[in-house]
Amino acid sequence: MAITDIIVRGAGIFGLSCAWSLARRGARVQVVDPHGIGSGSSGGIVGALSPHVPENWNQKKAFQLESLLMAADYWAEVEGLTGKSAGYARCGRLQPLADDRAVDLAQARAVSATEIWGDAAHWEVTRAPDGWAPNSATGLVIHDTLSGRIHPRMALAALTAALAREGCTVVPETDAAGPTLWATGLAGLADLPNPGVGVKGQAALFDLDMRDHPQIFTDTLHIIPHADGTTAVGSTSERTWTQDEPDDALDDVIERARTAMPVLRQAQVIERWAGIRPRSSTRAPVLGHHPQHTGDFIANGGFKIGFGMAPLVGEVMADLILDGTNRIPQDFVA
């Protein structure tokens, strides 16, 4: 029987980030996933690391801010150890402003951002730059410097390589016994006493190299220039659906993106993607002691912000599992 301190079930972003935080502190970890690395919604193509609006501050927003500010050092360490790029960059984000009311609201939020973010990042209303910028009726955009991007599949591969350096591989099943961290996505969320739901998301990948430019958020769409020379656009948020695969709803996403950013009309769509993302009943991640498995733990419900939350999720779960220290916000407890 394999010797292990903790079994992590699930090789999505929460499972791998928790496994990495545990392993780098010396724990013997075994990651188990019968479907392989990133087989669920973590294996998508968008990778928008975008902050919550800096107002009506709460535990979830504060947790996400701390995690986003950790991201540069976190991914630099993983990349430095493995030589594998995660596709991370704190590239910033542009959002168009449709009218005077939107401009006034954005300027008010700039004041809130200064109060909440301090000098860590900036939110400002500015003229839309020439070239790579969304259509804006006012000619103005919000520019924030906190938003970043990551390439989901590259990030998972880099984390997997980092874990391998610590002797931890991802296996379909194990005969090891011991405490388990359940990071099993939609299936695990659906089994909770207060179950979450699946939300279908669809996205498209364009053959367009804008890797040195900021991400765009317009018409509810994220447009993300990736480090590998592609540009991702997504995604839908569908509470009901008839099939798990990409469908006609993605055609609308592609057309809206091309309307907002005409340069996309000259680019070829090279991948159409769909996945079912786990959303908890509170919309916040579900972290801590597992409510149904005595002695076990849970990290689930990343939904749309799993990659942005992952660095800090891994750390607080390692604190709890290895040291018994609970830094998990009350809003996140299962």
Please write the tens of the pLDDT for every residue from 114-159. 999 999 999 999 999 999 999 999 999 999 999 999 999 999 999 9
What band does 63 get if pLDDT is binned at 50, 70 and 90? Answer: very high
**Residue written as token pair 């997997």:** 160
Pick the most confident of 2-6, 88-92, 328-332.
88-92
Once rounded to an integer, what is the mean pLDDT over residues 236-242? 95
Residues in the chain: 334
Edge to edge, the sheet with strand 197-206 lists 123-127, 140-144, 93-96, 215-218, 221-225, 231-234, 197-206, 269-279
Q: Give all strands (DSSP E) within the chain, no chain letters.
A: 6-9, 29-32, 48-49, 93-96, 123-127, 140-144, 148-149, 170-171, 180-182, 197-206, 215-218, 221-225, 231-234, 269-279, 286-289, 297-300
> How does pLDDT run across 262-280, given as a tens digit for each residue?
999 999 999 999 999 999 9
Write down the pLDDT at residue 1: 42
Tell me the torsion sign for CA atoms 146, 52, 37, 290. positive
Kindly report the pTM of this predicted structure. Answer: 0.96
Q: Which residues pair with 286 in a beta bridge?
A: 300
Spatial CB neighbours of 269, under 8 Å, sequence gap ≥ 6: 204, 205, 206, 207, 254
Write down the pLDDT at residue 4: 81
Radius of gyration of the chain (CA): 20
- Confidence check: pLDDT of 2 > 60: no
Once rounded to an integer, what is the mean pLDDT over residues 9-34? 97
Residue 276: exposure state from Cβ atoms within 10 A (0-12, 13-18, ≥19): middle
Phi, psi (5° rounding) for residue 170? -95, 125
> How does pLDDT run across 94-121, given as a tens digit for each residue?
999 999 999 999 999 999 999 999 999 9
Fold assignment, 6-92+146-332: FAD/NAD(P)-binding domain (3.50.50)
Residues of the chain with pLDDT > 70, as a percent, come to: 99
> How does pLDDT run across 169-188, given as a tens digit for each residue?
999 999 988 999 999 999 99
User: Would you put residue 27 in left (φ > 0), alpha (ψ -120 to 50) or beta?
Assistant: beta
- Confidence check: pLDDT of 168 > 50: yes
Spatial CB neighbours of 151, under 8 Å, sequence gap ≥ 6: 47, 85, 86, 87, 88, 226, 227, 228
